[in-house]
Structure 1
């Protein structure tokens, strides 16, 4: 359990009240409006969705992907030693073997390169989630103890005057959505940075020369 988990209950309660007050609309010209248009969600729903993001599954996924690399190393080792034979078929085999080695583990476009990039992307996402959860926890700690929170609670109590607390609710919502917006910007930035490294690994070998079956095949001992 991290700081965000500990603040989730009071934060959700406050934002539920904020959403209730904002159901009738935010104050005209308030800085909340651009955030609402961009996020397309009220702060309570936005927080509930974000609470489901945890770094551990992403970090575990990165570790799981890295554990696949030794299997590719074993396959490459089996292909490294040339066969003790010669002739047209042997030459064709050597070309195919070299191409397969390149495809398996030669550079960032190889299968191993893509595996390592996938693991790196998972690690980067885990770090993003960890940092973003801390930032959201900080803003929740600020808003649940703010004067605006007191006004929101009073405005949503039984018998409160209609329209009371709307400005306070808008302030709380703007602060929370601003931080969540920055968090999601970070995720989009990561995707742009890693997208080329996560592309499908395509076969880079040649089609190979034609094999003449009437040639001489010599097998070494």
Structure 2
């Protein structure tokens, strides 16, 4: 359980009141409007959805992908073993062997390269989730202790009170929370742009094979 989990219950309670007040509309010209247009969600729903994101499963996925690399290392080692034969068939085999080794583990476009990139992306996402959850927890702690929270609670208990004050306070709280979530989603989009080239599907990088020869025998052994 992290800081966001501990603040989830009081935070969601406050944001439910905020969402209720905002359902009647936010003040004209408030800085909340661009955030609402961009996020397309009220802060209570946004935070509730974000609570389901945890770094541990992503970090575990990265470790699991890295374990797959060992299988490719074993296959590459088997293909690297010297073969005691010579002749046209041996040369053709050697060309195929080198091409397969290149496809398995040679550079970032190889299968191993793509696995390592996938694991790295999972780690980067785990770090993003952890950092974003901490930033959101700080934002919730800030709004829970704010004067606006007091006004929102008062407006929710007294429907006949000053509606404009309640709406303004709700808009302020919503803007603070959605601004933090907007930064978090910007970070996720940046990660995707950065990692996308390394996550593309790998393809077989064909080399032009030599023309087959039939003018020499194949010899087995040294």
User: Which TM-score bucket, shorter chain as reference?
Assistant: over 0.9
Give distance in 2, aligned partners of 1:73 and 1:144. 53
Cα offsets for 1:18-50 (capped at 9, x unmatched): 000001111000000000000010000100110
Q: Confirm or deny: 8 A CA contact 1:17 1:156 kept in the other structure.
A: yes
Q: Confirm or deny: 8 A CA contact 1:16 1:44 kept in the other structure.
A: yes
> Superposed, which structure 2 residues align to 1:111-190 within 5 Å?
111-161=111-161, 163-164=163-164, 165-190=166-191
Which runs of at least 4 in structure 1 moved beyond 6 Å after TM superposition?
none
- TM-score relative to the length of structure 1: 0.96
Give distance in 1, aligned partners of 2:221 and 2:92. 17
Give distance in 1, aligned partners of 2:79 and 2:5. 50
Cα offsets for 1:102-126 (capped at 9, x unmatched): 1111111111111111101100000
Other structure's SS at 1:67 match = helix
Give distance in 2, aligned partners of 1:143 and 1:118. 37
Q: Confirm or deny: 8 A CA contact 1:85 1:218 kept in the other structure.
A: yes
Q: Confirm or deny: 8 A CA contact 1:87 1:216 kept in the other structure.
A: yes
Aligned equivalent of 1:43: 43
Other structure's SS at 1:200 match = coil
Give distance in 2, aligned partners of 1:144 and 1:160. 23
* Structure 1 position 211, deviation (Å): 3.1
* Structure 1 position 208, deviation (Å): 2.5
* Structure 1 position 81, deviation (Å): 1.9
> Superposed, which structure 2 residues align to 1:35-114 within 5 Å?
35-114=35-114
Instruction: Mark the runs of 5 or more structure 2 residues left unpaired by the alignment.
Output: none
Cα offsets for 1:193-221 (capped at 9, x unmatched): 11111111111132523434564211115
Give distance in 2, aligned partners of 1:154 and 1:134. 28
1:30 aligns with 2:30: yes
Give distance in 1, aligned partners of 2:125 and 2:214. 53
- TM-score relative to the length of structure 2: 0.95
Cα offsets for 1:68-106 (capped at 9, x unmatched): 111111000000023211121111100000011011111
Aligned equivalent of 1:201: 202
Q: Confirm or deny: 8 A CA contact 1:82 1:94 kept in the other structure.
A: no
Give the root-mean-square deviation of aligned CA atoms.
1.4
Cα offsets for 1:150-197 (capped at 9, x unmatched): 111111115433734000000000000000000010000011111111
Give distance in 2, aligned partners of 1:214 and 1:51. 70
**How many positions carry a matched residue from both structures?**
221
Cα offsets for 1:48-77 (capped at 9, x unmatched): 110000000000000000111111110000
